[in-house]
Structure 1
């Protein structure tokens, strides 16, 4: 009986021991309520080592966008027992508003408890707690097809610092979109708060009629709210955020019935025609070319729809048109487009050339009516003989061809004139040979000098092994002295040298070209020291050096990053 009791007690203790060491998983959110466009941190922790595995996070993709994942491991001794913990910290961006269920996270068959997150809608500029938002507007609700519409996007920032912003304008179906100049930066006040405003303006040209929807413009950034501003609670500090502008729509009407069917559709705010002549005397001679240049300038249209000038067929005139030149340029009122056409005119008979007027039909979008811009008609007087052009001989002795009693030109005189022209031709041919020889010698000498200059080495290379080694030494020295600022500068310079890429300008660029999780973790730790005011003593510089060595051992791949440098300069 005693023996059975001992066996039973042993089994009970064994079962309790197994239960005591069973895997536990815990998940928690950094907050239970967020505003649309803000991120939330999800921390998943197990009381054991992960051994290279991770929980199934794919269940989050239905309601969240996972922006980043960070893994951390720690160990401690509690009541004489050695314990290990592994945590995953995920940055989540909700995909929609309302109450969102965070499903259980499973690891090795063990699941966490489900949770609930409340995502509220964000109001633009209607609340006093809007520190960063994006607004958009259009100048018209109804336009004709291919008529210009001005679309303006404005980013408002107040009392926050922005790190590594990325702005993306919308992509609009069936609409041609042109940016109007560079971004504008200014300050304004809304609801008693002062904002820095970054404005982008675009000219939109709908290519088909109907209702056109403008999707949201998007801003991605990491937001820091400075501690020196007097905030006791700092939920924005170091938070990744995404902001959207409101979605808009407008109506594009088809070409009006009142517009002439045989004329190309041209909706514009204004249209002008100008011309210039070379030479501009109103007179010419037979065989002498004159050049006519006509410029069409229209406001509020693209150059691609400016029509060609009507063709002209004139008797007694040969016309040689040149290739048309078109261009567009932004202005305060939108796009201004020009089309320039030049023609060479050569008269073949004397008299008066009557050039007809040039009419261009267009639609005035402000007055909403058909208009015609006219270039007036012009006349040109042509002088000279219609049989053959005058020569030096006939010009000097007109009576030879007009007086019947004049003696005919003798063979001896004709031979003398021909010999004179022969000697002149020989002299000009000799001068041409001398000029050609001199030109060939100059070109050969210049080519030899260029070859010599190209063969000279550059004494100041941008990238070299020596500069790469020097950058490594600077990083090692900074890490040894726990100088976080110097380490940041050295790290950027090191990867710029290693990848031979001037586009590496900040730590985010280093993360992108390195593509290693270990280096990303070390850079985030370095960011904490630089931007969150943590003590340099807590910075693990050895981990940074190991991560850098690992990243440098990988093959170099060329990458480019689009940076919005003018928006928030470093």
Structure 2
């Protein structure tokens, strides 16, 4: 019984000996600089709940970063000491005098701390910043959907242990990073800084007055150890955060009198190039017309489709458009290039209609048009490619000709006439055999070409490769149909197969939707197999018939 009482008394004394009696609050520097982080440390002389500290009172005057908690227990000369420490990263957005209010931990209150916040350029700033962010924006006044670029540069003179940089924020805008991060070095006031540069393309989607919030960097830097024993001195880490300046943005609405597709740009141009570069072309020889559309301040997705209409007698075979994006003098420049193969079936002069792309000049605030003027090309006859005349349409009559009267004298057949007749019949039989062989060979070649596109398209679906699908789907579809399509939109309009339509729309949504997702080609492969089987069955049942 005595032992039990002694143990309980000892436990009671121990609990009271380690009861929380003191909580202190300190900051690592004072004064502090605008937009540069400083660390608030709150320490309790007991092992308490890690959630006992409430930092919500700090949000009135500061940006409150992450809070880390650590507990420590030590024993010296049989004397046990327990401490709980909270470290919170704070950032002041404006210069001035502020007060960190008293903070409460398990009923024990800290003392308030007066904090002086100064600008980085203030003469009272006694030391240079070891970490800061600068921003450079292309323009603060834009139209809806006009792209602006924001360049962020993170400067740090200390060794980074780890860190992350958030994206900028702008209400109702599409924001994407352009290219990869760039690293370099610079010297400012005799202090060497490492610099990480990142560029964003920002496209506002609604008009009004907005504030662009710069990215926030949060991480840890290496600092010298505060331990006195040099043998045990190791580098320590310190949490840091820094944020750039907020930038006001004025987004103007689309002018009410503007007509057509909205294309706000500082500069938009369209031009053509002929391959080969000759002034006269020949029948049957393909001509490549390269159309290039270039725009500053627009993304690849905003560039309109490049279509080309041709007069009768010319056939066009367009390729998939090539898209390019780059930076030029801190401006985003996008480009769309499309090749058109043109083939003529008879000689003559052909007028190509002009091509017009309307756009809005954001520099002069005027409506403009990018134009390729109409032009005439000459197609010469080709001895190696005789003129191909299309058969007349049904119901079309051919001009009547006046028959030439001839006198035919019939004489008694001689042996030579019979010999010539036999030879003519043998020649006709040989020609028929040769014709059937050529026709069979042509059918085999066409079927082989169809199978090549079909197999390549199925392979692309199996690999879930959308780029290869776009390459092979139009040639495959044209090989099965009498009519020719040059775009996906024309394909969707010409087919009645709902499975194929749904699968292609699923592909477009995955690749070009607002939030692109991974695409799988299983549904499209099934639809393609169904269409191919149906069309092959129809071609097999349709034989050659003589007109009645």
Give the TM-score band, short-chain normalised: 0.5 to 0.7
Matches within 5 A, 1:124-523: 124=120, 126=122, 127=125, 128-158=127-157, 160-191=158-189, 193-225=191-223, 238-256=237-255, 260-262=258-260, 264-277=262-275, 282-285=280-283, 289-309=286-306, 311-312=308-309, 314-347=311-344, 350-382=347-379, 383=381, 385=387, 387=389, 412-413=423-424, 415-416=426-427, 418-419=429-430, 422=433
Give deviations 1:62-112, integer Å, cap 9, x for gaps: 4355532111112344xxxx5433211221123667212242211xxxx32
Matched with 1:29 is: 25
The structure-2 alpha-carbon separation of the partners of 1:65 and 1:102, relative to structure 1 and needing over 3 Å to count, comes to farther
Give deviations 1:417-456, integer Å, cap 9, x for gaps: 65267469869999x99xx9xxxxxxxxxxxxxxxxxxxx
SS in 1 for 2:104: coil
CA–CA separation in structure 1 for the residues paired with 2:187 and 2:56: 39
Kept after mapping to 1: 8 A contact 2:26/2:41: yes
CA–CA separation in structure 1 for the residues paired with 2:105 and 2:293: 67
CA–CA separation in structure 2 for the residues paired with 1:300 and 1:19: 69
Matched with 1:566 is: none
CA–CA separation in structure 2 for the residues paired with 1:333 and 1:21: 65
Give deviations 1:230-261, integer Å, cap 9, x for gaps: xxxxxx9632111111111121222345x741
SS in 1 for 2:45: strand
Following TM superposition, the consecutive aligned residue runs of length 4 or more in structure 1 with deviations greater than 6 angstroms are: 16-20, 423-430
Q: CA deviation at 1:59?
A: 2.2
Aligned equivalent of 1:113, options 109, 113, 119: 109
Kept after mapping to 2: 8 A contact 1:352/1:380: yes
Kept after mapping to 2: 8 A contact 1:180/1:331: no
CA–CA separation in structure 2 for the residues paired with 1:368 and 1:209: 16
CA–CA separation in structure 2 for the residues paired with 1:26 and 1:304: 62
Give deviations 1:158-214, integer Å, cap 9, x for gaps: 3x2221122223132322334343334444444554433332233322222222321
Task: Report the number of matched residues.
Answer: 385
Aligned equivalent of 1:84, options 54, 65, 80: 80
Matched with 1:525 is: none
Matched with 1:75 is: 75
Give the gaps of 5 or more residues in structure 1: 1-12, 228-235, 390-402, 437-570
CA–CA separation in structure 2 for the residues paired with 1:172 and 1:19: 54
Kept after mapping to 1: 8 A contact 2:23/2:44: yes
SS in 2 for 1:181: strand
**1:41 corresponds to 2:47:** no
SS in 2 for 1:246: coil
SS in 2 for 1:42: strand
Kept after mapping to 1: 8 A contact 2:65/2:241: no
Kept after mapping to 2: 8 A contact 1:124/1:133: no
SS in 2 for 1:38: strand
Q: CA deviation at 1:355?
A: 0.5
SS in 1 for 2:430: helix
Q: CA deviation at 1:354?
A: 0.8
The structure-2 alpha-carbon separation of the partners of 1:76 and 1:143, relative to structure 1 and needing over 3 Å to count, comes to same
Give deviations 1:118-155, integer Å, cap 9, x for gaps: 34435345544322111223232212223332312122
SS in 2 for 1:304: helix
Q: CA deviation at 1:320?
A: 4.3
Note the aligned Cα RMSD (angstroms): 4.3
CA–CA separation in structure 1 for the residues paired with 2:365 and 2:263: 13
Matched with 1:54 is: 49
Give deviations 1:306-365, integer Å, cap 9, x for gaps: 222355252343444444333323334422212223334444555321112222233333
CA–CA separation in structure 2 for the residues paired with 1:39 and 1:295: 55
Matched with 1:461 is: none
CA–CA separation in structure 1 for the residues paired with 2:388 and 2:27: 95
Kept after mapping to 2: 8 A contact 1:329/1:335: yes
CA–CA separation in structure 1 for the residues paired with 2:131 and 2:275: 57
Kept after mapping to 1: 8 A contact 2:37/2:92: no
Matched with 1:100 is: 100
The structure-2 alpha-carbon separation of the partners of 1:67 and 1:385, relative to structure 1 and needing over 3 Å to count, comes to same
SS in 2 for 1:183: strand
Kept after mapping to 2: 8 A contact 1:222/1:239: yes
The structure-2 alpha-carbon separation of the partners of 1:37 and 1:218, relative to structure 1 and needing over 3 Å to count, comes to same
Kept after mapping to 1: 8 A contact 2:18/2:82: no
